Structure 1
């Protein structure tokens, strides 16, 4: 059973990760010698790479074996276990095209109006609640997902410049302030901002909040029963904290990171 937490800061597609895979859980999937060898090998890697804790899952056929190694919280010494929640980060970007593809093939798009080549103008033309950002009116769903928007500079705003209560709708509105460069569609620029926009477009096309889309179309189908969203999920006792390792600070080498910015 997958477990995890979803971070909702602005983008909502940034997730917290899982400690095990869906399938039949078998504690005796591995022999005692295999478990001992795996834990020793992984422990050595953790020591070399300065990793405080991790969740480990072994998949053999349709069965899984899961365990936790190290600690989730270095201050309290709380250990990592099979239920520990981890930040999935940008791996969760895969949820955005998946959910959009489901919507395109579902009743919300029964007339086939929305495709990967649909532009903001196509999607928002009947939306009376949102002013179309004209500079980006011809940007397609595909452009937002394959990093062809040349908008990576906007990502700094998602990290340091936007209030925490900024909504996904507001981020779409603020596109009108973002200058489009000649690199549009001519080069690749990684962009969290545009994935946030794409996630919100999924909300507007389907009429369903993003959290609900993820829960019903991803979590529920994969039996991710303890997966949840942040910041609410960060209050759980069994959440792994993030740390940065500094070689130049003896005695204080592990510095806890502020997870709220994600």
Structure 2
């Protein structure tokens, strides 16, 4: 929790730091390395989009250890491409005066060793817009509608669970909790008549929502006190989340997800005990 202390307002509300590195590099196969944590929902969406757009050969992938300590995200061993032990080294290469929290996903230039962008909302859009123009994840004719879903989902769901979990006042927690479930109820009603959020097809909006949903019962329900009900108790959202799990559930690492949240956030879970449940097999039944 100490890493987030600078992101807490005077009212006890969690205010996420802005992204420091926002360059939008032109596609150049082999030039960039995508550094992710499989625990992180923001990074997870980049992993999924990279996979769906078949960018594996164009953009290499590095996975950090799920346990983030006072030094930030570390590699299990020295990264063979970047030659660094901590992602913070690439941040310092890009800006020696950088003092913010080191975040994933990050796109690192392998020729300079510098972080080019940690702008997670734009990274996946650029994968579709620049790296694979044939992508159907962010089609021009649906962009306004997709963006119309992305905004409230980010504020109330993706970041909403963090605002509830990292709140340090009852008022801030309850405000985030209420907004979260109001948004989930709206989506639950919408999914009663459609298979996807927009246009009857998988889009960027679905991927952004899903990376929060897949973590909901395992982490956010208990650890972040988002406990009005479980995802499995919202029939339309649960059916929708399982359909998407069938498409890219192989990108989910339950061990990384659970160990990261329950071991890293000492103020929320000081014992560091990782819950045994829920059973991940429920996703395939």
Q: Relative contact order (alpha carbons < 8 A, sep ≥ 6): 1 or 2 greater?
A: 1
More helix as a share of residues? 2
Structure 2-normalised TM-score?
0.24
Rg larger in structure: 1
